[in-house]
Amino acid sequence: DAGVTQTPRHEVAEKGQTIILKCEPVSGHNDLFWYRQTKIQGLELLSYFRSKSLMEDGGAFKDRFKAEMLNSSFSTLKIQPTEPKDSAVYLCASSLVPGREEYSAETLYFGSGTRLTVL
């Protein structure tokens, strides 16, 4: 089974550049998440889509970070302009929408991430 696919695996950018990260969720999954991972902050939610609709836009990340989901099988995360403090691993994850049962919750499947270095 194909898992979550993220490209590129590594990205190096100059300060001020625009970069676009890509994600293909698990086929059939309805929820898609973008996280930023750093040693200090751990996993920080950037964006959250349900059935292609933006549910959460990450608050503090709104000004330079923009995630889009043009179809159910592809999402992008644009960072514009990049700053050195954006250096981190960016993880994409997907899951099924949980069932109607109040106490059920579905597993989150993560991609291998994109390691971004901003010089």
Partner 1 sequence: GDSVTQTEGLVTLTEGLPVMLNCTYQSTYSPFLFWYVQHLNEAPKLLLKSFTDNKRPEHQGFHATLHKSSSSFHLQKSSAQLSDSALYYCALVASSGSWQLIFGSGTQLTVMP
Contacting residues toward partner 1, per CB under 8 A: 3-4, 31, 33, 41-43, 45, 48, 50, 55-56, 91, 93, 95, 97-98, 103-113
Tell me how far, at minimum, the Cβ of 77 lies from partner 1, in Å.
16
Tell me how far, at minimum, the Cβ of 75 lies from partner 1, in Å.
15
Q: Quick one: tokens of 79?
A: 């960072």
> Helices marked H in the chain — which ranges?
none
- State which residue, 53 or 71, has the beta carbon closest to partner 1: 53
Q: Write down the residue that tokens 């302009």 correspond to.
A: 81
Residue 90 near residue 114, CB atoms below 8 Å: yes
| Residue 33 DSSP code | E
Q: Quick one: tokens of 43?
A: 């996993």
Tell me how far, at minimum, the Cβ of 55 lies from partner 1, in Å.
6
